[in-house]
Amino acid sequence: MMELLTMDGHGIYVWSTYILTAIVLIGLGTFPFIQLRRFKQRNQEDIEL
């Protein structure tokens, strides 16, 4: 298990790449849905006012 983390000293490079990629892809994937929800909320407030 430790070997999978350290990867003979290359672990820091490999894992930072995978984590960075995961963060960017999650950000890209959720962005349109977050924006859509904001748009909806903004317009609902407009109607109530």
Name the burial class of residue 10, with classes exposed (0-12), middle (13-18) and buried (19+) by CB atoms within 10 angstroms of its CB.
exposed
- Coil, strand or helix: which one is 6? helix
Contacts of 15 (CB under 8 A, 6+ apart): 5
Q: Minimal distance in Å, beta carbon 49 to other proteins?
A: 14
Binding mask 2-31 for other proteins (x = CB under 8 A): --x--xxxxx-xx-xxx-xx--xx-xxx-x
Site for other proteins, rule CB under 8 A: 4, 7-11, 13-14, 16-18, 20-21, 24-25, 27-29, 31-33, 35-36, 39-40, 43-44, 47
